[in-house]
Amino acid sequence: MVIKMDDDVFLDVRKFFNTYWNKLSNSVKTNSIHCQVWEHAVVGRTGKWKVERGLFPNSSYPFPYCAGFFAIVTPDLIKQMYSYGKKIDFFWIDDVFLYGMVPAAIRGVHFNQVGRKKRLITDSYMDYSSCVKKRGHEGCPFWAVLTDGRDQFDAEYSSLFQPKRLVPLNNTETKNSSKVVKDQPKPVMHGVIHIDNKKPS
């Protein structure tokens, strides 16, 4: 596979393979693009993405295309996309051209939705951080997010490698009023252990 993503996208590689890619059938690992898919998107007539009617008269795009911040393209499509990309008229909005017009020209390309309601990737860091806060990194289904800048990007990668503290399951210290009474020496840490996410004090 070929993964194309913006330089400010955080990707949890381990979660991507364990919860998504390794579970896919071979049928969607060929002739496929996996991304946040837009269907029947309205053609912008104002602002930054304004498209003149003379260039594209349709009110909406008649083909699906990807939000370009993250996309997975199966290897068998690369050569075809390169070939057809040189044959058809160029369109200046690269997401629409590369992930919409070119696949439409090839025909039969399968789009696999991993964004929007599927909630595996997102371009909203607010949605991602809210999900992680409520469900934790392991419980939150997102494995890729478009961050809002370097600080968020670095913070997410740092959280993956945060040292974990090992805590014995059986703590023999009991509290008696304001004093801590030690009933017996602390057990040697072996056997079953509990791992929490607290930083060592």
Mean pLDDT, the chain, rounded, equals 85
* Higher pLDDT among residues 50 and 193, named by residue: 50
Q: What is the pLDDT of residues 90-142, one digit of tens each?
A: 999 999 999 999 999 999 999 999 999 999 999 999 999 999 999 998 999 99
Strands 144-146 and 121-122: parallel
Start-to-end Cα distance in the chain: 43
Whole-number percent of the chain with pLDDT over 90? 73
Given a cut of 60, whether residue 197 has pLDDT beyond it is no
Averaged pLDDT for residues 41-65: 95
pLDDT digits (tens, 9 = 90+) for 157-178: 888 777 655 555 555 444 444 4
What number of H helices and E strands is found in the chain? 6, 11
Neighbours of 97 (CB within 10 A): 17
pLDDT of residue 166: 52
CA-to-CA distance for 69 and 36, rounded, in angstroms? Answer: 9
pTM of the model as a whole: 0.77
Instruction: Find, among 20, 23, 12, 36, the residue nearest to 144 by Cα.
Output: 12
Please, which residues have CB within 8 angstroms of residue 74's CB and are 6 or more apart in sequence? Answer: 1, 2, 29, 30, 31, 32, 33
- pLDDT value for 91: 96
Average pLDDT score over residue span 190-199: 41
